[in-house]
Amino acid sequence: MGRAVRNRMRELELSQAELVRRSGLSEPTVNAITRGAVSAYRDATLLRLVVALGWSRDSVDRLREGHAPVVSGGGETATRRVRAADESNTAAWGAIRRLEERVDALAAEVAQLRAQNGDRAAAKAKR
């Protein structure tokens, strides 16, 4: 997958920093993808990647199966469309990332509250 991503970045003349901005993925994630360092990715990660690179949405499945991705809308039109990606997509991916972070924080709070309740229940049982 890393080779396909690097080739597409070359076609679009994208730097890793620009791919990070367009996809909303973290820099370490994009770096790992382009190096081919990880073989399994979440669907959400792949979807962000294929959209940012102008590949069709079914390219997520194609990449998972080891097949080449398909350019969305065809050749040069898709390249221009990707190059002209508007800020609303970047803002949306940023909002998704912030929501994911908030969900993680809430899950940690829930775990902490459950632990506290467990401690209270144990103390009450000793009485």
Q: Tell whether pTM > 0.85.
A: no
pLDDT of residue 73: 65
Bigger pLDDT: 17 vs 68: 17
* Average pLDDT across the chain, whole number: 81
pLDDT of residue 96: 85
pLDDT of residue 29: 92
Instruction: Give SS3 for 73.
Output: coil
| E strand or H helix at 42 | none
pLDDT of residue 120: 77
End-to-end Cα distance, the chain: 60
In the chain, what are the domain boundaries? 1-85, 86-127
Q: What is the CATH number of domain 1-85?
A: 1.10.260.40
Residue 84 confidence class, pLDDT cut points 50, 70, 90:
low
* Number of Cβ within a 10 Å radius of residue 28: 10
Is the pLDDT assigned to residue 3 strictly greater than 80?
yes
